[in-house]
Structure 1
Amino acid sequence: MTDRLVALRLFVRVARSGSFSRAGRELGFSQPSASRIVSELEREVGAALLMRTTRAVTLTEAGADYLARTEAILDALDEADHAARGSGELRGVLRVGLAASFGVREVIPRLPAFADRHPALRIELLMSDQRQDLVHDGVDVALRFGELADSVATARRLGATRRLLVASPDYLARAGVPQQPADLADHRFIAGPIGPGPRGIAMTHDDRTLVVRVQSRLTVTVNEGATAAAVAGLGIAMSGHWGCRAELDAGRLQQVLPAWDLGATELHAVFPAGRAAKPSARALGEFIAAALADPS
């Protein structure tokens, strides 16, 4: 990569992250080197692009305009490189934002096939149970469940995971196996990210829909905690199938009221707004959609 391209990519990450240190780490530079490279870029451009204080790094008016034009150029260059190769080979860095539980359970076990197909591509997984800011964190594609809050972002539906009620065999042996929705009122519940919420559990069977209110004695903020609590026998949990598949297959959890439908939670690949999606980001979305559709 030429020095000018390095400087442009570094400037974009400094502008988006608001930090020379963070941008430098992402691209393999020390903080002093990152600062020097961007300063040299400003001298070449002939304008101050960033305002530096002890607390923050922000864009000047000229810098904001330069950033918008630079990102468009870099995206177009990536697309041109990909098209020119003509082989479908992907290169560079792909930054993926996703929930930790989904990453560990469903994405990482499938990732070797994608990585082997694109050996020149470096993949960075930004795994967190909090949704990443696509622009600030430099995310090329985020794998997100549920409703999409950012209506201006570009998104592609990848699939959906069925919502289930699950509990450990030991818990059900002690507390009894619910035979109908009304029986749930007599059971302990674990409230996790998926539910149950204060409005209750909506359940459908043979075109009949009920909303069952339950009391949660334990609240857990991450899916892994809710699944672990259910395995430990602390009560019934609501989970997406992908969030407890391994425990169901191993017999450590079993589905409660399997004849009743609790709906599904959709999964989308979300791309930053205002710019073309990277070829590698699009390719990963297509790969994940195909992999999740394959029951094997």
Structure 2
Amino acid sequence: MVSAKWVVERKPFGSKSIAFRPKPSHGSSSATRWKPRGPFRLFDLPPELRVQILDSALLDCEEQVQVLQIFLVSRRLYSEAAAIFYHDIWLDITDRTVPPGLLAEPITPLSPRLHVHTMDLKIYPKNNLRSFNDVYVPLLREMAEQGSLRALSLEINGRFPRLDFWTDHYSHDDDDDAFCETEVPLLIGPETNTEYLGPAFLAAQPFQAFLGFLSDPRIPKVTLYISSADHYTFWCDFHRKFSSQLGIPCIGGSWRGKSKRLKVNRRHLIRLFRNARAA
């Protein structure tokens, strides 16, 4: 019996001679492969690609002239660029008596402040709170209603509270410490029926207007901070959760931790003292 053998038929390599094969195209230049037809149309790109391009051009560019030129191209490009460039703003107005240019200019459809999404605002009560209530509160509400403001971090430093920061009328003869630290009978709580001994400024109109701003639904997220170096015993009750987590509670209004600012429990503050009045 003859064993079967597998016969493998060998053919020439390839169907054509290597000399007749088409040459690969990777050797051609990029200019040969693609030629632009007219100007590059930025707005033909998907929005997510435009965001990446503008983000790199605006935030990674060291030439301010180039950044300015982007804002001058068209109204549409200005809006998209401003939404990136002014998205997060940090303002320290501790040494200012008037709002900075970003907030002081009259409102227009091209106002930069309409594009601010997150603002960190630091103030110092050299002026009284009436200037904040009368000047800054309307601007911030305007930024939330007509613009993009969704989160505000407000830091108040320097003898907060103090008499000229809360009262409608102030003179240097007034007793600052008595108004801020001397306890007076008050009615507080959600029903305004809880007796409480606390600083007189709690029932004053400026502080009540300030609480109204903190609870304004037009700004979805408001965070209040106070100076850890110079805060009163009164505020200890409203950041105690934070201090107890670190195991560094306040003693007599003196903060022993390393944090320079303390976060206030805004909801607890509003719930207790909104509509507070003298007993």
Give the TM-score normalised by the residue count of structure 1.
Answer: 0.20
Relative to its length, the structure with more strand (as a share) is 1
Q: Which protein has greater RCO, CA pairs closer than 8 Å, 6+ apart? A: 1
Point out the structure with max Rg over C-alpha: 2
